[in-house]
Amino acid sequence: MEQKRKRVKRAGHGRRVVAYIVLAVMSFLCLVWFYILFINATRSNGELGRGFSPIPSTHLLENWNNLIQGTLPVFNGLFNSFFIAITSSVLTVYFSSMTAYAIHVYDFKLKKFMFTFILSVMMIPTQVTALGFVQLVDRMGLEDNFIPLIIPAIASPAVFYYMKQYMTSALPMSLVEASRIDGASEFRTFNRIVLPIMKPAMAVQMIFAFVGSWNNYFTPALILHNDKMKTLPILIAQLRAADWLKFDMGQVYMMIAFSIFPVIVVYIILSRYIVGGVALGAVKG
């Protein structure tokens, strides 16, 4: 019996070691690209042309000065990307949570149909509707405007589905019924009782929605034409497409590093909710 207990203990220890090795390798593969990016941001265009080097160079400030003193409105792009990403992610998470609350709490005739219809929207690629979307924006006179990039983002089937599954596992109906008995309105119940319970899931989806909006190039490139209204991904593409006489790969890497920094900050702020949100929001077997 004692030997069996020791074998089980050794087997558990072996699995733990393997798990740590796999996590270490995965962490390295995820982080090494950030290291390469920030190393390349410190190198000049000539040094980058000679190949990769793991050692930082001395051209970080030079690349930064060349970037901000160039023709592209970098800080305008930062503000535009930040405003669009923050606004769209907050509205997406809030209204998707509200939609999921309605589907989860209320019983009505077309409930199953609405749930299926919302999920079916996820099957439609953005590129399929791009032409009609651009024509609609043009007719409404909303080109070079942030509204077409924020309002459509409110309807997110993926966020809705995640919130619905999270409510199924974490929101007891007894709380909602108790709030109704106490005379609270539905909006008060949702804002004061449901949202605090949904905070981990909302933080997780806030990160995903923020990163998705921040990195979005396709739709803003169709809508925004004025340089002062463009987002960072569009400016990065313009920087990479510069004339070969003006092309500077050091500036490109500096621009990419500059655009990634806000995403890292948002992730650090909200990351403590990820594990709890993913665990509680998982589908029950």
Same domain, 147 and 249: yes
Residues 161 and 58 in one domain: no
| 233 within a domain of the structure (yes/no) | yes
Q: What is the pLDDT of residue 83?
A: 94
Q: Give dist(CA 109, CA 128) in Å, integer.
A: 31
Residue appearing with tokens 């982080």: 31
My answer on whether 181 and 97 are in the same domain is: yes
Residues 102 and 217 in one domain: yes
Closest CA to 238 of 217, 262, 212: 217
165 and 198 part of one domain: yes
Distance of alpha carbon 93 from alpha carbon 91, whole angstroms = 6
pLDDT score recorded for residue 5? 64
Domain count, the chain: 2
Query: Buried (b) or exposed (e) across 192-226, using 16+ Cβ within 10 A?
Result: ebbbebbebbbbbbbbbbbebbbebeebbebbbee
Does residue 242 share a domain with residue 119?
A: yes
Residues 6 or more apart whose Cβ sits within 8 Å of residue 224: 80, 143, 144, 230, 231, 234
Decide which of 62, 79, 114 is a domain's last residue: 62
* Average pLDDT for runs of 10 along the chain of length 285: 61 76 88 86 85 83 85 88 92 91 85 85 80 88 90 87 86 84 85 85 87 89 89 87 71 86 80 59 43
Q: Which two tokens stand for residue 209?
A: 């929605």
Query: How many angstroms separate the CA atoms of 185 and 183, rounded?
Result: 6
Query: pTM for the complete prediction?
Result: 0.81
Number of H helices, E strands in the chain: 16, 0
CB atoms within 10 A of CB 84: 21
d(Cα 86, Cα 263) in Å, to the nearest integer?
11
Closest CA to 254 of 56, 31, 69, 40: 40
Gap between the Cα atoms of 164 and 282, Å rounded: 10
Range of the domain at 176: 67-280
Output the six-digit token pair for 263: 């995403």
Handedness of CA 218, 220, 221, 222 (dihedral sign): positive
8 A C-beta contact, residue 167 and residue 198? yes
- Of 193, 162, 158, 171, the closest CA to residue 278 belongs to 162
11 occurs within a structural domain: yes
Give the CATH number, domain containing residue 215. Answer: 1.10.3720.10
Compute the 3-state secondary structure of the chain and give helix, strand, coil in percent, each to the nearest 5: 75, 0, 25
Q: Tell me: do 233 and 187 sit in the same domain.
A: yes
CA atoms of 53 and 139, how far apart (whole Å): 51
In a domain, 285, yes or no: no
Q: What is the pLDDT of residue 283?
A: 42
Question: How many alpha carbons lie under 13 Å from residue 12 in its C-beta half-sphere?
Answer: 6
